[in-house]
């Protein structure tokens, strides 16, 4: 029996090789090579999907910091991994960052500080059952954008799509956000 992501049978002499089977990404379902390569230690993605995420993030310029924050948060919650401590914390803090930006108008430039404050609350972290499906937009669509305007539009649509997918957990995530932001909160309401 072949290994996942490999040919099931080697080709005999004079026979074409069996087609390579590429397993879908466990997070978003994208089927893309390479079948071997680096993976994140706890974000649940395939090597091919992870390489597209890296391509997106390394293509951003310093002025794209806000869109990079949104893209990174979105990718992380779309690829929740398995119920282990690091993956659980990752999904929770990235949902906090995503929700603060989308629902509370929290500036992306301040999102890393909010995430760092959230990490100080390990008693909050619980496995949030991922929705099915995990959104309808994937990183390959963002990477395929023909210019920065289209890319930014797609990242915002991707973030909104994933935030909506996690709607069953909004109450909990917004409670964490409001605790972190305090009475002053964000800038007052959902980003448009």
Query: Residue 67: which residues within 8 A CB-CB, separation 6 or more?
Result: 60, 108, 151, 152, 155
User: The pTM is what?
Assistant: 0.86
Mean pLDDT calculated for residue range 42-68? 95
Alpha carbon of residue 112 to chain centroid: 15
* Predicted confidence (pLDDT) at residue 3 exceeds the cutoff of 60: no
Query: Tens of pLDDT along 77-117?
Result: 999 999 999 999 999 999 999 999 999 999 999 999 999 99
Query: Residue 113: which residues within 8 A CB-CB, separation 6 or more?
Result: none
CA pair distance 30, 154, nearest whole angstrom = 17
CA pair distance 121, 123, nearest whole angstrom = 5
Mean pLDDT of the chain: 89
- Sketch the domain layout of the chain as residue ranges: 47-181
Position 22 scores a pLDDT of: 84
* Predicted confidence (pLDDT) at residue 135 exceeds the cutoff of 90: yes
By the 8 A CB rule, do 129 and 38 touch? no
């Amino acid at each position: 029996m072949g290994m996942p992501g490999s040919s099931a049978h080697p080709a005999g002499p004079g026979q074409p090789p069996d087609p390579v089977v590429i397993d879908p990404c466990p997070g978003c379902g994208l089927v893309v090579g390479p079948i071997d390569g680096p993976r994140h230690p706890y974000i649940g993605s395939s090597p091919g999907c992870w390489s597209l995420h890296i391509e997106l993030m390394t293509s951003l310029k310093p002025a794209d910091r806000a869109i990079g924050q949104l893209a990174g948060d979105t990718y992380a919650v779309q690829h929740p991994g398995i119920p282990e401590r690091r993956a659980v914390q990752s999904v929770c803090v990235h949902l906090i960052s995503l929700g603060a930006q989308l629902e509370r108008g929290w500036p992306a430039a301040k999102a890393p500080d909010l995430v760092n404050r959230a990490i100080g609350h390990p008693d909050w972290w619980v496995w949030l059952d991922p929705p099915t499906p995990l959104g309808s937009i994937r990183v390959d669509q963002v990477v395929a954008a023909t210019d920065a305007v289209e890319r930014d539009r797609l990242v915002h649509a991707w973030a909104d799509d994933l935030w909506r997918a996690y709607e069953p957990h909004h109450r909990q995530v917004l409670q964490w956000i409001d605790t972190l932001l305090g009475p002053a909160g964000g800038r007052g309401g959902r980003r448009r």
